[in-house]
Structure 1
């Protein structure tokens, strides 16, 4: 197999670290355009790498959105940003010496917008209120990628910084519910429901195989969104196991049919549960489970002690 270029190498390194993540999350970590990340991942998955590129949506809302959005003559769907082709990319920009290809259909009128010779007699009035955002959500956000929930306006500053989550304990044991805040001011309550260690019987029942000297661990967590700001990522994206010497173990890119995984996004007032799978060396001792909105956000991290 031909070695990937440096950009592909960095992309694969981030994917290997996360195990499972949305395209826009990977793009944000690399500072790249999500469309370029998606195209590179699709191309890399066709080279024989153990890489699966998928998509998730709310089927009913997506069908409803498609029913209200006409198909453009070029074969793409009309979106708030303009027509896109069936691959999801906008038409190419014109380059010097390369005009746009001819499009089927009647020619445009010779002068559809006459030149104004003075100030307009009836300028466009400013709208009284902002136009409601499309249910497709803001570009490059989880709601845009999935289209499953309309975005919610951010709460006033005093609600985004509730002192209760800052003074609440950030440590506990298995079964404890701990309070914290997300990166966008989301008020979260996360419970470590169960730690199954070892979980080899669940792992093998799902059709996976452990190598000699390995064991599997399954962690069950529930996240409740206590505020009015949607939580728009995977609840267990940075849920890790921690050994007594401080080494962290990230989740494995697998899911079990008997223990369903987390799904992206938790709306205000909702509680979402899921199971996270880990594969560790058989002799590894698990000292605690840690959740954080981002690895470098220690001030918002939660820790649950696990009895060995």
Structure 2
């Protein structure tokens, strides 16, 4: 399976370095919310990757917690199993109102024939011929003076006959109704050094400033003990965030800080931190201003044109974009 989500790639890269880790430890390493990390790991585990998401517990502690819970489940009386009438097997309900597609009253439906003759490839005994009822005598024609031609019918409306009545769920004329896709809302735009206001997911009043973009920053990357592959370079972005409101900002400030290439593709941050350039820390209290550095690793031939900040993975009206081209 090919992994294309940059956040998933960053998460799997950190997990590959650790080999085995708790969810909260992995979340702290990549700077993400533990709940989002758990959700993504479970989804990736079910996609065929060699990944196993497990849970450890204290058995005695869990049993004590269960014992202290109200035993509402134990107060429900258990119904003894009802004996089945002879001649019936399987899970078919033949008492009271039948369930599912098994109709045992009146005319049977589907391939379940309950009136004598079996169906399918097990033929029953030959049955007596069925006498056909006599056809009723033909009705005499009406007198000439009572015969009249019906009024001409209007040609059927192709819309009505094909798609149903308007204002219903079946009304979807793809050949006449062209639905114009709405463009994704864009946030504020600026240049390096600009301070722009925005909001967090919980309504936090924030200002974010792009202070510096070091491109390339290979010497800082090597000084921290990391090595680049052939044809790669590193970039370091310095940002500062201020909480102007009364609601604490509890996320990692650069969780969704991305580089934008010339063809519009985003580049997520690398799961590394530099000793000489401290990273962002989780949480910004009301009235607090904090700064941090974010590291990126990308192909040496990639041209970076902008830096984008967003409180969520997908850009929206709260997104901030700084152009870094001269």
TM-score (norm 1): 0.52
What's 2:249 paired with?
231
CA distance in 2, matches of 1:13, 1:90: 38
Contact 1:173–1:306, Cα closer than 8 Å, also in 2: yes
* Pick aligned residue for 1:198 from 213, 216, 222: 216
Distance 1:270 1:208, change over 3 A: same
CA distance in 2, matches of 1:294, 1:89: 37
* Pick aligned residue for 1:15 from 5, 11, 15: 11
Distance 1:187 1:28, change over 3 A: farther
What's 2:201 paired with?
183
What is the deviation of 1:21? 1.8
CA distance in 1, matches of 2:234, 2:207: 26
What is the deviation of 1:227? 0.4
What is the deviation of 1:186? 0.3
Tell me whether 1:258 sits opposite 2:228 in the alignment.
no
Contact 2:258–2:266, Cα closer than 8 Å, also in 1: yes
Distance 1:93 1:202, change over 3 A: same
1:26-175 maps to which residues of 2 (within 5 A)? 26-27=37-38, 91-93=61-63, 170-175=188-193
Q: Which has the larger radius of gyration?
A: 2
Return 5+ residue gaps in structure 2 as ranges: 2-6, 14-26, 44-50, 68-186
> SS at 2:269's partner residue?
coil
Return 5+ residue gaps in structure 1 as ranges: 4-10, 33-39, 45-84, 101-168
Distance 1:274 1:14, change over 3 A: closer
Coordinate RMSD, CA, aligned: 3.6
What is the deviation of 1:28? 5.7
Q: How many equivalent residue pairs?
A: 181
Tell me whether 1:210 sits opposite 2:210 in the alignment.
no
Moved over 3 A (4+): 11-14, 16-20, 27-32, 40-44, 87-90
CA distance in 1, matches of 2:52, 2:276: 29
CA distance in 1, matches of 2:10, 2:301: 27
Distance 1:244 1:43, change over 3 A: same
The superposition leaves residues 137-157 of structure 1 with CA deviations (integer Å, 9 ceiling, x where unpaired) of: xxxxxxxxxxxxxxxxxxxxx
Distance 1:266 1:215, change over 3 A: same
